[in-house]
Structure 1
């Protein structure tokens, strides 16, 4: 149903949004927090990724407003873009809380959350590449994997909070770590929302 000879600007922009998200999540995961200054550097850089993502969303909305025809439903294009932006906002917001708490400690549970979030953004970027190539059905396997990673994050959340209340005695640290765990799990939920948006596009168009 699509012409495969010409790049679609909507799909190309969705791919750019996904690649910016992927790069940001890898940056957050790879960064080694060793000091307050390093934490500030991480926060500033992720804010730039978020700003770049907002600019891409703005460009996409302008394109949607100006275009009479779109390759798929315009609501589905916007939904997919906004859901990807939610992930980036969530990651940036979580790191902002690290800075707010002056928290330079990253435990194994946080690393597990980030691992699955990064894997999810890898799958999202791969799926958007299929969309850009107009091979919508190929997105399905990526959506399945993203949902599996979200389930793994649910397990990490349950275990992390249980262990936190069992072993941590400092009430301030309990509040801080619980907040971070729950924010990271929420980011995983945002990843699942992208997978659901992908499923809707496949169902309606493939």
Structure 2
């Protein structure tokens, strides 16, 4: 019996890890939606309220990561390699951390006016998390490898777009922003947002590693 056959034999019985990963993916989408709303709104109270909700969702993500790690300790049989489960959980947690971090920096640094680059990257973060969630949903059935691969390719494309927008925005800040404090504030927020897309790409890399091992 091939390793893939063994894998397929156990996957349908798993009721621990896949639901947790799917919850983590849905949680990231909710966080990304709130960040996008905050970046696009001029209502500072709404932005403050969203920041509080984002903090709660970030804690929810931490709890999901903790549950996944607990299940790793309790279960001898896992749907795929233990190190990949750990890496996937950690990379999802990183995405949540940086989405929350971007919102938190906007509040801490009192960034009242968001730039066009922030709006564009916030939209890309949402797009990336949607692809992450889709791939996680498909993970429980590796017969749909093409769907997972397609999501990973799209995540990488989104990350490349975010990199370009970030680099261009920072270059323009250094060229045109004369207020050093505003420059630092904007760069810090942009950096956290761009890091969120980087972490989505890390998720894609782990998923691709899982596909290679179980193809």
TM range, smaller chain: over 0.9
Gap runs ≥5 in structure 2: none
Deviates more, 1:174-183 or 1:44-53: 174-183
Determine which of 34, 39, 47 is the counterpart of 2:47: 39
> Aligned equivalents of 1:166 and 1:5: distance in 2?
56
Mapped pair 1:124 → 2:124: no
Judged with a 3 Å threshold, the aligned counterparts in structure 2 of structure 1 residues 135 and 21 are, in CA distance, closer, same or farther, namely farther
After TM superposition, the structure 1 = structure 2 runs for residues 11-22 of structure 1, keeping only pairs within 5 Å, are: 11-22=18-29
Please say if residues 36 and 102 of structure 1, whose CA atoms lie closer than 8 Å, have aligned partners that are also in contact. Answer: no
Task: State the shift of 1:107 in Å.
Answer: 1.3
> Aligned equivalents of 1:108 and 1:14: distance in 2?
32
Judged with a 3 Å threshold, the aligned counterparts in structure 2 of structure 1 residues 5 and 57 are, in CA distance, closer, same or farther, namely closer
* Matched residue, 2:166: 157
> Aligned equivalents of 2:107 and 2:16: distance in 1?
37
TM-score by length of 1: 0.93
After TM superposition, the structure 1 = structure 2 runs for residues 160-171 of structure 1, keeping only pairs within 5 Å, are: 160-171=169-180
Please say if residues 14 and 79 of structure 2, whose CA atoms lie closer than 8 Å, have aligned partners that are also in contact. Answer: no
Gap runs ≥5 in structure 1: none
CA RMSD of aligned residues (A): 1.6
Please say if residues 33 and 105 of structure 1, whose CA atoms lie closer than 8 Å, have aligned partners that are also in contact. Answer: no
Judged with a 3 Å threshold, the aligned counterparts in structure 2 of structure 1 residues 175 and 160 are, in CA distance, closer, same or farther, namely same
- SS of residue in 2 equivalent to 1:132: coil
Please say if residues 76 and 197 of structure 1, whose CA atoms lie closer than 8 Å, have aligned partners that are also in contact. Answer: yes
Q: Spell out, residue by residue over 1:3-51, the C-alpha distance to the aligned partner (whole angstroms, 9 max, x if none).
A: 4654532112111111111111112212454344333212110001001
> Aligned equivalents of 1:27 and 1:177: distance in 2?
19
Task: State the shift of 1:169 in Å.
Answer: 1.4
> Aligned equivalents of 2:118 and 2:110: distance in 1?
16
TM-score by length of 2: 0.90
After TM superposition, the structure 1 = structure 2 runs for residues 64-143 of structure 1, keeping only pairs within 5 Å, are: 64-135=72-143, 137=145, 138-143=147-152
Q: Spell out, residue by residue over 1:121-157, the C-alpha distance to the aligned partner (whole angstroms, 9 max, x if none).
A: 0000000110133446131111111111111111101
> Aligned equivalents of 2:144 and 2:202: distance in 1?
17
Judged with a 3 Å threshold, the aligned counterparts in structure 2 of structure 1 residues 5 and 67 are, in CA distance, closer, same or farther, namely closer
